[in-house]
A = this chain, B = another copy of it.
Amino acid sequence: MTSELDQILISSSEPDFDKKLEQLRISTLEASWFREDDSKRDKVRAIVEDVSKRGDEAVRKYTEEFDGVKLRPEEFRITEEDLKNAHKEIDKSLLTSIRQAIENVREYQKQIYIGNRKHPGIKYTPIERVGICVPGVSAPLPSTVIMTAVPAQVAGVKKIVVISPPRYNGTIHPVILAVCCELGITEVYRIGGAQAVAALAFGDKEAGRIKVDKIVGPGNTWVQMAKREVFGVVDIDSIAGPSEVLIVANDQAKPAWVAADMLSQAEHAPGSAVVFTDSKKLAEKVLGELKGQVEKLDRSKETIKCLKEFGLIVFFDNIDDVIRWANNFAMEHLEIQCGQESRKIAERIENAGALFIGDYSPVAVGDYWAGPSHTLPTGMTARFFSALTSNDFIKSTSIIEYDRKRLAESAEDIIRLATVEGLDAHAKSIEIRLKGQQD
């Protein structure tokens, strides 16, 4: 079965290589929400509209329909007692690791925070209310809470609301609850999907109960499409698709490590794992390692399927082409395993969600630990979207303060510019101030 993986190795010597790679880029990376059929979009739109009109009652209905869980609206919110119990019962060594992860994220997010910059022409204020989507059904993702809520807290967000879909028995995984409790987040709702996103955007029936100003965090296609649908009513972080890694490697890279990193992305299933190298020997060795390692994984079968669909090992003629195509692919995670050259190559990377430099920086370090958020742009959107940071939880207000003298000096120019645009009253609002005493 692993022999089928041979197909993922391609070389720049193949005919029509550029066209082929461009095509592979699109099929491997293009955000899945955009490939959704219209009927799914219409369904999402209908859910969002229904929740905007009927609030709680609509959320209840869809929770029963999609999550198979019957909940009365007053049961959506997790009680303080349940949050505290989850925190009490969490494994102590796990709690220690979580606390250190929180500390690392907080420290990093503080360092890169720009909201405290002083300039007379601009003022930064935290967004007041933020909603966080935490996936929860397939595997509990407590790291999502850390990587989204801590940046928001660093920015000074006052109200954080967490939503996470209920499992078959109507609960949220206790590790997620424990992390919320650890962070002092008290508004946690066991609702998910498009209906929960809509509830965050419009509030439910008790007006404004969970309404927020910005929605962030990962989720399945329903969640992402709903985020897109409510964008403008609230802000959103990005529209995220499946996870991805691009590994730029030369002949100094360790094939076994490169293969292990491909697998750690492919196990998300779907998750895209791509290697670009200028060493034919490395390309072949990585493929060999991949075949060997994948069979030993718990989720071997799904991972092989995922690699065939979203995996690539590409051998280029030279490192310049590698870098050019790496910028073109604009991937979520970009590892550079090129020995002493790694940093120099990193400097030439313009489009990537996060850069992992050197042999000892696998993506997992960023997923859980180093500090930067693991909420990153996918599907080639690193051309314009960024990693989620504390700076995404503030907004700026421009400040303009003229006195009479300064206005008088500028009046002629401003009036000339307003006049060419045909905006009579704009010009008059300047003139009236300079006519002398008015009342």
Contact = CB atoms under 8 A, between A and B. Distances in A.
Interface of A: 31, 33-34, 93-94, 96-98, 100-101, 108, 111-112, 114, 117, 119, 121-123, 125, 127-128, 138-143, 175, 213-214, 228, 231-235, 238-239, 254-257, 260-261, 263-264, 266-268, 293, 297-299, 303, 343, 346, 349-373, 376-377, 381-387, 389, 395-404, 406-407, 410, 412-414, 416-418, 420-430, 432-433, 438-439
A364 B266 contact: no
A365 B400 contact: yes
A188 to B, nearest CB: 18
A413 B175 contact: no
Given A366-B400, A416-B94, A264 B357 contact: no
Contacts of A376: 398
A416 B101 CA distance: 11
Most chain B CB within a 10 A radius of its CB, from A370, A429, A439:
A429
Closest 7 CB pairs of A and B: A372-B398, A235-B384, A354-B398, A97-B413, A139-B422, A357-B401, A264-B425
B414 A365 contact: yes
Contact of A356 (B123, B372, B400): B400
Contacts of A142: 417, 420-421
A400 B372 contact: yes
Contacts of A413: 96-97, 100-101, 368-369
A193 to B, nearest CB: 19
A369 B413 CA distance: 8
A410 B365 contact: yes
Contacts of A403: 358, 360
Given A93-B416, A143-B421, A254-B439, A387 B383 contact: no
Contacts of A266: 425
Given A235-B385, A357-B399, A384-B214, A364 B430 contact: yes
Contacts of A359: 404, 433
Nearest to A112: B122
A396 B123 CA distance: 21
Contacts of A351: 125, 128, 395, 397
Given A264-B428, A422-B139, A397 B232 contact: no
B439 A256 contact: yes
19 contacts: A97-B412, A111-B119, A112-B119, A125-B350, A141-B421, A213-B384, A231-B231, A232-B238, A235-B385, A257-B438, A267-B426, A355-B400, A356-B401, A364-B429, A365-B430, A369-B410, A369-B414, A377-B395, A386-B396
Contact of A361 (B383, B402, B423): B402
Contacts of A427: 364
Contact of A428 (B31, B228, B260, B426): B260
A403 B228 CA distance: 39
Nearest to A231: B231
A362 B410 CA distance: 12
A136 to B, nearest CB: 11
B372 A122 contact: yes
Contacts of A264: 423, 425-426, 428-429
A403 B360 CA distance: 5
A110 B254 CA distance: 44
A82 to B, nearest CB: 19
A254 B439 CA distance: 5
Contact of A418 (B123, B368, B372, B395): B368
